[in-house]
Chain A
Amino acid sequence: MIRALILSLGVLAALPALAETAAPATPPPEQVVAGLSENQIAITATFNGSDILVFGAVKRQTPPPDSAPLQVIVTLEGPPNPVDISRKGHVWGIWINTERARVTSAPAFYAIATSGPLNDVLSQTEDLRYKITIPQAIQDTGIASQVPDGEAFINALIRIRKDQGLYVLDQGTVAVEQATLFHTDIRLPANLTEGLYKARIFLTRNGQVVDVHKTDIRVRKMGLERWLYELAKNQPPVYGLLSLVIAIAAGWLASAVFRLVKR
């Protein structure tokens, strides 16, 4: 019910706003108008993941073409970081890390939701152009010079992060109604890192991207989490001493309490 309300409110609010803006030189025949249920996510001590509702509508000047069905792809990309990938080898009877490759940039989180099977909604050339699928989100230039089989390392990175719930591909989870309204839920896991998360919503027909809409979600530690994090980064000696004081006080307290209990 609330979701439906947000959905209709969002569409109503967005449509006139868009109409007021100056028309671009050649407006695409179909434009996406979209919103998110949240633009800020606070990581507090009890943070246990979050659901983001992505919703929107298609705005048209002319009746929809009836050639191919309208499809929607939603991506959400976390802050990028370099990642080291190590592979173990069997050397003299023991397993040790023998090869290592560094990926210059891999998103800490990447979710992609589609309205149908990925191969149907997106052509390979369009994927290369807009960098939509998970392998495209990882920048692996130069990996071939580090290890002979760079692709195996990239696949391992994707596999491990998929297992951790950090890379997600949900096919067919975007609901499209009457070729105009759409909505989907994207689950943000509990092991989230802070930073700017970029959301993109693509409209496609016949595998070709018709229009794209971009927006951001700010993920930030709040409250006690923020305070501890800032103290650890900005005042390391104070933070270290605080850790020790807490440890010693707790040790003393437990000893004192148990002494009282035993009496």
Chain B
Amino acid sequence: MQIYLPIAEVSVNIFLLLGIGGGVGLLSGIFGVGGGFLITPLLLFIGVPPGVAVATGANQVVAASVSGLLVHIRRRTVDFRMGTVMLIGGFAGSNIGIYVFELMKQAGQTELFVQFSYVFFMGAIGTLMFQESFRAIRRARSGAPPPTSGSRSRHGWAQRGPFKVKFRTSGLYISVLPPVGIGLMVGFLSATMGVGGGFILVPAMIYLLGMNTRVVVGTSLFQIIFVTAYSVMAHAITNQSVDLALAVLLIVGGVVGAQIGTVIGFRLKAEQLRILLAILVLAVSVKIGLDLVLTPSDLYSIRSVNHP
């Protein structure tokens, strides 16, 4: 069964869209990532124009994140104070990102810049997470006590900085500067790479701030909702590239997937969660890296100029 998308101006199978939305929503619920880094390439693959894919993908991320966040709010696994502090940095960062993106556009190599960012950031974060969680799983198997208290005291720089605030839900009493800085970086990357930034946010909160993994997912979703909502508005106003028909179908699949995913996420162990996310992030970065290195099947690509 096909549907004609009014903004993308292509006809796509309805069940394919529901499936993509559901699959990405499931992962989003499990890992607390928005799924923008998965949905955009998938939409491109089925023939949706790039501008529409990025903007509409962001709208689907909002829906999936709201759905997941509500579950976390009920389980009291959201640190609103931490999320708000990171948001302040996030908005500043995304405005800087939009500006830099414009500069890259004028230089004529946005695509390359985006692909490099994916490969570099996702490759680095994926590798770090994989190593750490692999060690954690081995420790758990050998029966040694997990050195959680040790890993938190390691971040003395966060405790020593000025403007110290008590983040009760996260169990931290640290300076606001590191969370603002992380928010800034994620906002910048989300504006330039067209993603929510959850895959950077989640490991940054675990490894840089030393937050509890349980709280990290809910707090990440909280921050992602606002950053992606901002990006949806920006795309709708400047490019008119949000396709609501496409968004609704992705959302229907996505919210259901996110609900199931959140339940699965609560059943998995923290280190299992981290190693699975690491594998996912690495897989995407390897895929994009291979696209850059392997000889493309078609050297030519076309783009209609009046199309979003």
Could you tell me which A residues sit within 8 Å of B by CB distance? 43-49, 81-90, 93-97, 100, 102, 108, 153, 156-157, 159-161, 190-194, 221, 224-226, 228-229, 232-233, 236-237, 239-244, 246-248, 250-255, 258-259
Contact = CB atoms under 8 A, between A and B. Distances in A.
A164 to B, nearest CB: 8
B128 interface: no
A236 B88 CA distance: 25
Nearest to B2: A48
Contact of B9 (A48, A88, A193): A193
B233 A246 contact: no
Given A254-B255, A254-B258, A228 B245 contact: yes
Query: Which one of B47, B256, B294, B303 has the highest number of Cβ atoms from chain A below 10 Å of its Cβ?
Result: B303
A239 B300 contact: no
A49 B10 CA distance: 11
Contacts of A44: 4
Residue of A85, A161, A191 ringed by the most chain B CB atoms within 10 A: A191
A257 to B, nearest CB: 8
A102 B64 CA distance: 39
B128 to A, nearest CB: 24
Given A45-B4, A226-B6, 20 more contacts: A44-B4, A45-B245, A47-B11, A49-B11, A85-B300, A87-B299, A94-B292, A95-B295, A96-B109, A108-B304, A156-B302, A161-B302, A225-B4, A229-B6, A237-B237, A243-B236, A243-B242, A248-B66, A252-B67, A254-B255
B264 interface: no
Across the A-B interface, the 7 shortest Cβ-Cβ residue pairs: A251-B66, A240-B236, A190-B11, A254-B255, A156-B300, A251-B67, A247-B63
B59 to A, nearest CB: 5
A253 B241 CA distance: 26
Specify which of A81, A221, A239 lies most central, judged by the most chain B CB atoms within 10 Å of its CB.
A239
5 contacts: A93-B293, A191-B11, A226-B6, A240-B232, A247-B229
B302 A85 contact: yes
A263 to B, nearest CB: 13
B57 to A, nearest CB: 12
Which of B4, B9, B240, B307 has the most C-beta atoms of chain A within 10 angstroms of its own C-beta? B4
Interface of B is mostly: helix
A95 B62 contact: no
A126 to B, nearest CB: 29
A87 B70 contact: no
Interface string B220-255: 000000000100110111001010110110011001
Interface string B274-308: 00000000000000000111111011111111110
Contacts of B304: 81-83, 108
A82 to B, nearest CB: 4
A38 to B, nearest CB: 17
A241 B242 CA distance: 11
Given A190-B2, A247-B63, A250-B251, A81 B302 contact: no
Given A236-B236, A251-B70, A252-B67, A88 B244 contact: no
A193 B233 CA distance: 25
Interface in B8-26: 9-11
B4 A244 contact: no
Contacts of B2: 46, 48, 190
A132 B56 CA distance: 39
**A82, A221, A232 interface centre (most CB from chain B within 10 Å):** A232
Contacts of A102: 305
B65 interface: yes
Nearest to A233: B240
Nearest to B229: A244
Contacts of B302: 83-86, 156-157, 160-161
B111 interface: yes
B259 interface: yes
A165 B35 CA distance: 32
B65 A251 contact: yes
Contacts of B6: 221, 224-226, 228-229, 232
A156 B69 CA distance: 47
Nearest to B11: A190
B7 interface: yes
Contacts of A253: 255
Given A228-B244, A243-B247, A254 B67 contact: yes
A139 B252 CA distance: 43
A116 to B, nearest CB: 31
B112 interface: yes
Contacts of B255: 250-251, 253-255
A211 B25 CA distance: 59
Given A239-B242, A241-B233, A255 B303 contact: no
Contacts of B245: 45, 224-225, 228
B247 A247 contact: yes
Residue of B3, B6, B11, B109 with most chain A CB atoms under a 10 A cut-off:
B6
A253 B67 CA distance: 8
B73 to A, nearest CB: 9
A85 B298 CA distance: 12
